[in-house]
Amino acid sequence: MIKKSNYKKQLLIFDFILLCFLTVIDQLTKYMAVLKLKDKAAIPIVEGVLEFSYLENRGAAFSMLENQKTFFVIVAGIFLCVITYVLFRTPGDKKYRHLHILLTTIGAGALGNMIDRLRLDYVVDFIYISLINFPIFNVADMFVTFATAILVVRVLFVYEEDDFDFLAAKGAQ
């Protein structure tokens, strides 16, 4: 049987490895997008539904707040700090395994886009759902969106209110 402290250390090591792996996947897909799509016509994947189309996004979702690099880097840094804080505060119980995976996935998305902003001054987007004319996005955006949606469902329907008592300030309990 694994002690809670050892299990927590294993979870945190897993979190770090997952963060690195997902960030590398994001960066590799963006690298391939630059190589194969930049200055070229869109590539249909499923005609009339999905295509790969290169875009340099200097804003956030839907290109809002364009050219606010410093703001986005600071916000991503704050998110990463909060996620790190929560992961370190989370008890070493198996019931929090999904929380670790979801928060780490959100963190990887934030980190992937932050790397682009720091390195390029924009985020490389390349996935376009033409069927519904959805704004062009990338793998990091998918990490953040899907993990956040699943996290919200789990918080609303799976976790109990007292499952998050570990986040309360010490002495305030």
Q: What amino acid positions are annotated as catalytic residues? A: 125, 141
The two three-digit tokens of residue 165, written as one number: 């008592």
46 Cβ partners below 8 Å, 6+ apart?
none
The continuous run of DSSP H or E covering 51 comes out as strand 50-57
Cβ neighbours, 10 Å, residue 52 = 18
- Residue from 93, 92, 110, 94 nearest 147 by CA: 110
Write the single-letter amino acid at 109. Answer: G
